Amino acid sequence: MTTGTNTSTGTLRRAGIALLATLTLATVPATAATADTPAATTATAAGATAGAWHGVWAASPQAPAAPFAPNWSLQGFADQTVRQTVRISAGGSKARIELTNRYGTTPLRVTGATVARTAEGGAVVPGSVRALTFQGRGSVTVPAGGTLLSDGVPFRTKALESVTVTLYLAGPTGPATFHHMASATSYRAAGDHRADTSGAAFTETSSSWYYLSGVEVSGGPRAAARRDGIVAFGDSITDGVGSTADADNRYPDELAERLAATGRPRAVLNHGIGGNEVTNDTTWAGEKAVARFRKDVLTEKGVSTVILLEGINDFGGSGPAFPGGPTPEVSVNQLIEGHRTLIRQAHAHGLKVVGATLTPIKGSFYDTPENEAKREAFNEWVRTSGAYDAVVDFDRAVADPSDPDRILPAYDSGDHLHPGDAGYTAMAEALDLDEL
């Protein structure tokens, strides 16, 4: 990563994987919901403001859609329990979750929720299940378009801990706000199984996340003055498409591992959406970045830096290969202005901005002379404009030295567009931790 217009990236040696985290909990049985609690569009549960809270896991919400294969978003849920496992990037002594109904057209009633330490598959560690409350009550109603936080519960975690959040949805929800490309397995059971430690009832699976958009913690090392979180913002390459499912090998995950291995873990929040564009809304890949940045990034607590890697779908989306139909053609200058808009938004909130070059596309379904010319012109602007506070050259980090317009075969997931696990590791290694 470089500051100003210095274009040398260098290669940093990857640090070892951090120590496996442990979670120490007191056992509290999950209780049945007691009442519905209406909430404002962005609501903080009673007592949640005590201490400094900061995000340690995130997923950008999307409108219900099924562009590639069936998922649970279009029909939603009724008398079903959804169990979702996420890996947090930093730890604390208390935890709370964020639920979103951003794209719901009716209020969402969550009958009850729990958090627990993750075991194998859909199981959780016995004795670790904790009931979550909302303003002291076991159930909550999230208004259409709304987002809210649970109350904080004592829940001691460390960096790279995997935790499991379980939601029981008794009544019909209607179509569900979700995150499409999770690269992780979610589980569903009929009836109320929020307190189960076994995964036996969870016989259905999905590769998306539903209603869960964040995990926050308080307490822990340096918590009082912490404002050092990093947001990775972008499209499918930030989202981790092409990485091994359930292995946490997206480039933001690899970055979190590097930071934890230094002994000073920092929160790394992934706000990538597969297929997302900077300048165009889509029916299946989220609102355009210049609109969702305000909702997804600027609302995060404890963040100091954002990495911007987005634009290849703006160039490729006008072609016939784009799912859901083509979007309007985007010029290099239009994409540059979109990035300048994101930079202005970030700077207005005191965030440092790291600009990233677009990775190679040769041999992929986006590979045309026009798209390659645009990619090269935009990358030159990223490297030389001085518009960002720093630059990371992901293009050169994963390119084949003998054919720089193509991803190195060892780094290629197989579609010549998305890196695989080794490619995402190379991207994380290209980031200069001191610059972050």
Q: Report pLDDT digits (tens) over 80-125.
A: 999 999 999 999 999 999 999 999 999 999 999 999 999 999 999 9
Question: What pLDDT sits at residue 377?
Answer: 98
The arithmetic mean of pLDDT across residues 361-376, rounded, is 97
Q: Is the pLDDT of residue 192 over 80?
A: yes
Question: What pLDDT sits at residue 331?
Answer: 98
Superfamily for domain range 2-16+227-430: SGNH hydrolase (3.40.50.1110)
Question: What pLDDT sits at residue 32?
Answer: 33
The DSSP output letter for 229 is: E
Question: What pLDDT sits at residue 1?
Answer: 60
**Residues with Cβ < 8 Å from 188, sequence gap 6 or more?**
72, 77, 80, 81, 82, 83, 202, 203, 204, 205, 206
In whole angstroms, give the CA distance from residue 258 to residue 265.
8
The arithmetic mean of pLDDT across residues 318-345, rounded, is 93
pLDDT tens figures, 3-28: 443 333 333 333 333 322 332 333 33
pLDDT tens figures, 269-295: 999 999 999 999 999 999 999 999 999
**Residues with Cβ < 8 Å from 418, sequence gap 6 or more?**
236, 237, 241, 242
Q: Is the pLDDT of residue 337 over 90?
A: yes
Question: What pLDDT sits at residue 266?
Answer: 96
% of the chain with per-residue pLDDT over 70: 87
Question: What pLDDT sits at residue 49?
Answer: 40
81 phi and psi angles, rounded to 5 deg? -115, 130
In whole angstroms, give the CA distance from residue 191 to residue 166.
12
pLDDT tens figures, 146-171: 999 999 999 999 999 999 999 999 99
The arithmetic mean of pLDDT across residues 237-263, rounded, is 98
Question: What pLDDT sits at residue 217?
Answer: 97
Question: What pLDDT sits at residue 158?
Answer: 95
Question: What pLDDT sits at residue 223?
Answer: 55
Question: What pLDDT sits at residue 222?
Answer: 54
In 3-state terms, what secondary structure has residue 349?
A: coil
Q: Is the pLDDT of residue 247 over 50?
A: yes
CA within 13 Å, CB half, 196: 22
Question: What pLDDT sits at residue 34?
Answer: 33
Q: How far apart are the first and last CA of the chain?
A: 9
